[in-house]
C-alpha cells in the first residue's frame, strides 16, 4: 500500500489518510551529492564526498511502515548510487543500489528517488555503492524505529554512536597503490584516523547519563577498512540487536565491530551519581603491524553523570583481564526463536588473495576475481528468458550463482589466509551456524586450530554482515525467499575493489514475471551506452565473442596479503 502511495503522484491525499490511520507515512530526504573539502581528524585538506555540502552526512530516521524516499542529485563528475545497507528491498531489488548489479550508476547531473519500504526496525546505514564512494565520505546512519508501543525492550533514550575510519588519501589513489604490481608493500596510503559521530574521535560530544536511566546505544561501524572495539568500563553492555535483528539480551563488557556491522546495546546508568566515566573506542586491524600512536588507536569519550563529579578511579573489569567478556556474536540468540534452517543446497566458497595473469595480487572467491559486467546483472536476469537460469549468462567474472525460489542455502566460506573478512549479503540476513579452523593444507597458527564453535543454543543468530576470521571458515544459512539480484562481498572496500565479491541471482523466473524496472533507471544505462538486455556483455545466449580476456590465476597458493 505504502509503495503504491509513494509512486502514484495523485495519491498524496490518500497517503495522508494512511499516515493518520497509523499505516505509515512518507519521509522525504534529499541529498545533493557532491565534493566537499575536508580537514577532519587532523588531516590536511582533502577532497571528500558529502551531501548538501555537509560532511558528515546527518543520520536519517523513520519508523517501521514508513516509506522513505531518498532523492539524490548527482553533482559529482562520475556516476553514483546509494545502497540502504540492511534493508531487504522486497519486490524492489532495483532499489538496492549496487552499480552494475542492480542498476546503472546515476550519471552526473541526474537525479533519482530511491523508494525504501521500511518493514523492519533496526540500525542500518546508507552508503554509496559505486566507485567505493562510501570510503570517501558518502555514508550515513539510518535508524528505523519500532512503531510506538511495539518496542520489545524498554529504555529511556536512544543514542547513536557511529564510528568510521577516515583516510587522508582518496580511495581511488589507495586502490591504485594497492594493486600496482610494482608497488612496495605496505602501500604508502597511510593510516586511518577514527571518527565518532563524524568528528575526530577524542573530541566527540560527551554522553550524558542520568541516574537510574537506561540507554540504547546504537553502534555502527561505517568503515572502509578498520575494526572498532567498544567498551564502557564500569557498565555492562546488554546486546539486543545485531544488524537489524533483535536478539535475546546478552551482557558483555566489550564488542569488536567489523566494517558494516551494527549493534544496539542497553546500558543501565548507576542509580546514584558517584563518578563520571569514559567509554573506549579502539580502532584496529590485526593485519596492520602495530605502530605507536597510529594503530591500534584508542579514542576516549566522556560519560558525564554530573559536571565536576570525580572520574571513576577503577575501570573494571579492565580490557585484557580474564573477567572482561568480549561478545562472540555466535553466542547470541534471535529474539524470535527461529530454529536453524535445514539446507536444500550447500555451496562451498573460498576467499583469499592470488597472483593473476595481470601481474596483480587480486582478491577472489573460488579463484574468480569479481569484475563488474557490461550489463547490470539484474537486466540480464530480466531479459534472458529461460537462459537466465544458466549462471554463465552473467559472465565469467561475476561469480553468479542462480538460486531457486525458497531454497535454503548453506554457504561455507573458507578463509585460509591471514586476514579477517566482514562478509555482507544483500537482501537477507543469514543464520550463523558454525565457525571453525580453515580447511587448508597450509600450516595455520596454533591458536586457530582449536575446536569448532557452533552456535550456542538451538536458535542461530541472524545478521547481514559476519566476520570470517583469518585462518577460519564460517558456515551460514539463509532462505532464498526474496527474488532479486543480491551481492555477497567483503565489506572492506579495498578487498571488494580487488574482487572479493559475487552475486546471487534469486528466482529470475519470478523476477521476469513480477518486476518492472523504472524507465528512468533504464535511461541511466542508455545515457552511457550500456545495453539494457542480453548477457553480461549485451549479446545473446552464451555469445561472449569480443569480450576482454579473463585474468587467470598464476600463483595458486594463498600469499601474505597486501591490505
Ligand atoms: Cu554495505 Cu554491498 O554493501
Ligand atoms: Cu576482506
Partnered with residue 250 across adjacent β-strands are 239
The model's confidence at residue 43, banded by pLDDT at 50, 70 and 90, is confident
CA nearest ligand 1 atom 1, residue? 85
pLDDT at 1: 31
Read off the pLDDT of residues 132-167 as tens digits, 9 standing for 90 and up. 999 999 999 999 999 999 999 999 999 999 999 999
Q: Is 475 in the pocket of ligand 1 (CB under 6 A)?
A: no
Q: What is the pLDDT of residues 346-370, one digit of tens each?
A: 999 999 999 999 989 999 999 999 9
Q: How many CB atoms lie within 10 A of CB 554?
A: 11
pLDDT of residue 12: 43
* 374 vs 1, more confident: 374
Task: Please write the tens of the pLDDT for every residue from 285-315.
Answer: 987 888 888 889 999 999 999 999 998 865 5
CA dihedral sign, ordered 522, 89, 505, 407: negative
Q: Is the CB of 424 under 6 A from ligand 1?
A: yes
Q: What is the mean pLDDT of the chain?
A: 91
What would the grid cell of residue 120 be?
523492519
What is 345-555's CATH number? 2.60.40.420
Residue 186 confidence (pLDDT): 58
pLDDT range class, residue 556, cuts 50, 70, 90: low
Quick one: pLDDT band at residue 45, thresholds 50, 70, 90? Answer: very high
Is the pLDDT confidence value at 542 over 90? yes
Q: Return the H-helix or E-strand segment holding 520.
A: helix 519-527
Residue 85 Cα, ligand 1 centroid: separation in angstroms? 6
From residue 542, give the alpha-carbon distance in Å to each of 25, 375, 384, 385, 503: 46, 14, 10, 13, 18
Give tens-digit pLDDT for 50-82: 999 999 999 999 999 999 999 999 999 999 999
Phi-psi region at 293: left, alpha or beta (left = phi > 0; alpha = psi -120 to 50)? left
- Model pTM score: 0.93
* Chain mean position to CA 112: 22
- Spacing, Cα 83 to ligand 1 middle (Å): 7
| Angstrom distance (rounded) from CA 217 to CA 238 | 10
Nearest residue by C-alpha to atom 3 in ligand 1: 85
> Residue 182: pLDDT band by 50, 70, 90 thresholds?
confident
Ligand nearest to the Cα of 124, by number: 1
- Whether 489 lines ligand 1, by a CB cut-off of 6 Å, is yes
- Cα of 460 vs centre of ligand 2, distance in Å, is 24
Select the CATH number that applies to the domain covering 7-145 from these four: 3.40.50.880, 3.40.190.10, 2.60.40.420, 3.40.1500.10: 2.60.40.420
Q: Which ligand 1 atom sits nearest the alpha carbon of residue 496?
A: 2
Ligand closest to 285 (CA) is: 2
Q: Do domains 157-331 and 345-555 have the same CATH topology?
A: yes
The per-residue pLDDT for range 82-126, each reduced to its tens digit, is 999 999 999 999 999 999 999 999 999 999 999 999 999 999 999
Q: Is the CB of 426 under 6 A from ligand 1?
A: yes
Instruction: State yes or no: pLDDT of 20 exceeds 60.
Output: no
Higher pLDDT, 447 or 365: 365
Nearest ligand, measured from the Cα of 489 = 1
Give the ligand with the smallest distance to the CA of 464. Answer: 1
Strand order in the sheet with 111-117: 46-51, 26-38, 67-74, 111-117
- What is the residue extent of each domain of the chain? 7-145, 157-331, 345-555
Q: Is 131 in the pocket of ligand 1 (CB under 6 A)?
A: no
The CATH homologous superfamily of the domain defined by 157-331: Cupredoxins -  blue copper proteins (2.60.40.420)
Chain centroid to Cα 384, Å, comes to 30
Which has more confidence, 10 or 421?
Answer: 421
Amino acid at each position: 500500500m505504502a509503495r503504491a502511495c509513494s509512486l502514484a503522484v495523485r495519491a498524496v491525499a490518500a497517503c495522508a489518510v494512511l499516515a493518520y490511520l497509523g499505516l505509515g507515512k512518507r519521509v522525504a530526504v534529499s541529498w545533493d551529492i557532491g565534493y566537499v573539502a575536508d580537514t577532519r581528524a587532523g588531516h590536511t585538506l582533502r577532497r571528500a564526498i558529502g551531501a548538501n555540502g555537509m560532511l558528515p552526512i546527518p543520520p536519517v530516521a523513520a519508523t517501521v511502515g514508513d516509506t522513505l524516499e531518498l532523492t539524490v542529485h548527482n553533482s559529482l563528475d562520475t556516476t553514483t548510487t546509494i545502497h540502504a545497507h540492511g534493508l531487504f528491498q522486497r519486490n524492489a531489488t532495483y532499489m538496492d543500489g549496487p552499480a552494475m548489479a542492480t542498476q546503472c550508476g546515476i550519471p552526473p547531473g541526474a537525479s533519482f528517488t530511491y523508494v525504501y519500504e521500511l518493514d523492519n526496525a533496526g540500525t542500518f546505514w546508507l552508503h554509496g555503492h559505486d566507485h567505493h564512494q562510501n570510503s570517501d565520505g558518502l555514508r550515513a546512519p539510518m535508524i528505523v524505529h519500532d512503531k510506538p508501543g511495539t518496542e520489545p525492550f524498554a529504555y529511556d533514550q536512544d543514542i547513536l554512536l557511529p564510528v568510521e575510519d577516515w583516510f587522508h588519501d582518496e580511495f581511488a589513489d589507495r586502490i591504485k597503490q594497492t594493486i600496482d604490481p610494482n608497488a612496495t608493500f605496505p602501500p604508502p596510503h597511510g593510516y586511518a584516523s577514527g571518527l565518532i559521530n563524524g568528528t575526530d574521535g577524542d573530541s566527540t560530544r560527551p554522553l550524558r547519563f542520568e541516574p537510574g536511566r537506561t540507554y540504547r546505544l546504537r553502534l555502527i561501524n561505517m568503515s572502509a577498512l578498520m575494526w572498532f572495539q567498544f567498551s564502557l568500563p564500569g557498565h555492562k553492555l546488554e546486546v539486543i540487536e545485531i544488524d537489524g535483528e533483535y536478539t535475546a539480551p546478552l551482557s558483555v563488557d566489550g564488542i569488536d565491530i567489523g566494517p558494516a556491522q551494527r549493534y544496539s546495546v542497553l546500558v543501565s546508568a548507576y542509580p546514584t551519581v558517584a563518578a563520571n566515566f569514559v567509554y573506549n573506542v579502539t580502532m584496529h586491524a590485526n593485519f596492520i603491524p602495530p605502530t605507536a600512536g597510529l594503530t591500534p588507536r584508542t579514542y576516549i569519550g566522556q560519560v558525564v553523570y554530573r559536571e565536576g563529579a570525580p572520574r571513576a578511579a577503577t575501570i573494571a573489569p579492565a580490557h585484557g583481564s580474564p573477567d572482561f567478556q568480549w561478545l562472540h556474536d555466535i553466542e547470541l540468540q534471535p529474539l524470535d526463536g527461529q530454529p536453524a534452517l535445514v539446507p536444500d543446497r550447500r555451496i562451498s566458497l573460498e576467499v583469499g588473495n592470488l597472483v593473476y595473469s595481470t601481474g596483480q595480487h587480486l582478491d577472489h572467491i573460488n579463484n574468480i576475481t569479481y569484475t563488474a559486467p557490461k550489463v547490470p546483472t539484474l537486466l540480464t536476469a530480466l531479459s534472458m528468458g529461460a537462459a537466465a537460469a544458466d549462471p554463465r549468462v552473467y559472465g565469467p567474472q561475476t561469480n553468479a550463482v542462480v538460486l531457486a525460489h525458497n531454497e535454503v542455502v548453506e554457504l561455507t566460506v573458507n578463509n585460509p589466509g591471514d586476514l579477517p573478512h566482514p562478509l555482507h549479503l544483500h537482501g537477507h540476513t543469514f543464520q550463523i551456524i558454525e565457525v571453525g579452523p580453515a580447511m587448508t593444507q597450509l600450516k595455520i597458527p596454533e591458536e586457530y586450530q582449536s575446536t569448532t564453535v557452533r552456535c550456542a543454543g538451538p536458535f542461530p543468530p541472524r545478521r547481514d554482515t559476519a566476520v570470517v576470521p583469518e585462518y577460519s571458515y564460517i558456515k551460514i544459512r539463509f532462505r532464498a525467499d526474496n527474488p532479486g539480484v543480491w551481492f555477497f562481498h567483503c565489506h572492506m572496500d579495498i578487498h571488494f575493489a580487488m574482487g572479493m565479491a559475487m552475486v546471487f541471482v534469486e528466482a529470475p523466473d519470478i523476477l521476469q514475471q513480477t518486476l518492472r524496472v523504472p524507465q528512468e533507471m533504464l535511461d541511466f544505462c542508455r545515457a552511457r551506452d550500456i545495453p539494457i538486455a542480453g548477457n553480461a556483455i549485451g549479446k545473446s545466449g552464451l555469445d561472449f565473442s569480443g569480450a576482454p580476456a579473463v585474468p587467470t590465476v598464476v600463483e595458486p597458493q594463498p600469499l601474505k596479503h597486501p591490505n
